């Protein structure tokens, strides 16, 4: 089986053109070693040195010289908004206190859809809407990307 053992971050700057694409959910974009199938149907073994955050726009270099571009899949999410910036900050605190992944934007918070959390945020006074789009939450506080533990 063909292996992919190198990731090129944000390939738009590299000048390399992909030969295929792979569309992955947020959960599926945090991998080290797994058999994957491109959108075009080609199977390969992702075999990285360490567990890596695959971001939309990254390239996976295959040993046969091909490049596969990672695309973030659309997912069912919810957007929390308010005209009161302090209310958004309070909501962010509650979300962080529950260790939930959250994409922070200037005037909103985006989370995975969860009817219990949706109700909690509505009870705090935020406006919620269900949306479908790629999910790109904040990375961990101890690194640029997801953290699986604390090294301090």
Distance of alpha carbon 57 from alpha carbon 70, whole angstroms: 6
**pLDDT digits 0-9 by tens, 59-97:** 999 999 999 999 999 999 999 999 999 999 999 999 999
**pLDDT digits 0-9 by tens, 25-46:** 999 999 999 999 999 999 999 9
Options 3.30.479.30, 3.20.20.70, 3.30.70.790, 3.20.20.10; which CATH number does 74-134 get? 3.30.70.790
Sequence spans of domains, the chain: 3-72, 74-134
CATH class of the domain at 3-72: mainly beta
For 130-142, give the secondary structure using H, E and C: EEEEECCCCCCCC
pLDDT score of 152 = 41
| 138 pLDDT more than 70 | yes
Contacts of 149 (CB under 8 A, 6+ apart): none
Q: What is the DSSP letter of 63?
A: T
Res. 112 pLDDT band, cuts 50 70 90: very high
Is residue 125 within 8 A of residue 82, CB to CB? The reply is yes
Q: Which two tokens stand for residue 64?
A: 């046969």
pTM, two decimals, is 0.81
Distance of alpha carbon 125 from alpha carbon 52, whole angstroms: 37
Q: What residue ranges in the chain does DSSP mark as E strands?
A: 3-8, 20-24, 30-37, 43-53, 59-62, 67-72, 74-81, 103-105, 108-112, 127-134
């Amino acid at each position: 089986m063909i292996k992919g053992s190198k990731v090129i971050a944000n390939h738009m700057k590299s000048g390399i053109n992909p030969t295929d694409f792979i569309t992955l959910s947020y959960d599926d974009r945090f991998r080290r070693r797994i058999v994957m199938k491109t959108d075009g149907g080609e199977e390969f073994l992702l075999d990285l040195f360490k567990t890596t955050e695959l971001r939309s726009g990254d390239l996976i270099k295959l040993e046969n010289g091909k490049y596969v571009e990672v695309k973030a899949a659309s997912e069912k999410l919810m957007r929390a908004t308010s005209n009161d910036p302090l209310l958004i900050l309070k909501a962010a605190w509650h979300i962080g206190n529950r260790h939930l992944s959250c994409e922070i934007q200037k005037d909103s918070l985006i989370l995975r859809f969860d009817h219990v959390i949706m109700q909690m945020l509505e009870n705090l006074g935020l406006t919620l809407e269900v949306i479908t789009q790629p999910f790109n939450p904040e990375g961990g506080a101890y690194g640029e990307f997801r953290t699986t533990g604390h090294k301090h």
